[in-house]
């Protein structure tokens, strides 16, 4: 989760996520960032804030607490910037847009974190 956290710091979203919440955050694995355009990741790693970075991070943050057991197939979740995420459940596999939930229901002081295998770049 270190790459995601670094992005939160660069964009100032870390302050928002440190508030009371609750929030649900879908955090891509560090390896998943390798699938993005190299320039985006390089800027991010150098601590450069770009509007594109903030948009990408916003696709992963939901206001309110949503545990995995709360999700239903076909549900639509609204992100903090008004975009939507689609929930697809096939058997025991839960997908958020095109990202598979790998780990779930990690408790945070003001919400819950779910690990996903891809960066959500658009709806």
121 within a domain of the structure (yes/no): no
Which structural domain range is residue 52 located in?
A: 2-116
Length of the chain as a residue count: 123
- Domain presence at residue 102: yes
The domain total for the chain is: 1
What's the rounded Cα separation, in Å, for the pair 65 and 22? 6
Rounded Cα distance between 68 and 10, Å, is 29
Per-residue pLDDT of the chain (123 residues; tens, 9 = 90+): 888 888 888 888 888 898 888 999 999 998 887 777 666 667 767 766 677 888 889 999 999 999 999 999 999 999 999 999 999 999 999 999 999 999 889 999 899 999 999 999 865
Alpha carbon 32 to its chain centroid, in Å, reads 12
Residue 27 located in a structural domain: yes
| 122 domain-assigned | no
64: closest CA among 108, 14, 110?
Answer: 110
Axis-axis angle for helices 51-58, 2-11 (nearest 10): 120
User: Is residue 66 a part of any domain in this protein?
Assistant: yes
| CATH number, residue 59 | 2.30.180.10
CA distance 114 to 68: 8
Per the domain annotation, does 92 fall within a domain? Answer: yes
Whole-number Å distance between alpha carbons of 26 and 112: 9
Does residue 109 sit within a domain?
Answer: yes
């Amino acid at each position: 989760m270190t790459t995601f956290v670094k992005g939160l710091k660069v964009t100032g979203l870390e302050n928002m996520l440190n508030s009371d919440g609750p929030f649900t955050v879908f955090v891509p694995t560090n390896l998943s960032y390798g699938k993005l355009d190299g320039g985006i990741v390089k800027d991010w790693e150098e601590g450069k804030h770009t509007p594109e970075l903030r948009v990408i991070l916003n696709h992963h943050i939901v206001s309110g607490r949503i545990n995995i057991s709360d999700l239903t197939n076909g549900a639509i979740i609204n992100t903090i910037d008004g975009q939507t995420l689609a929930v697809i459940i096939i058997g025991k596999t839960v997908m958020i847009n095109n990202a598979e939930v790998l780990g779930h229901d990690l408790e945070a002081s003001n919400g819950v974190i779910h690990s996903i295998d891809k960066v959500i770049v658009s709806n």
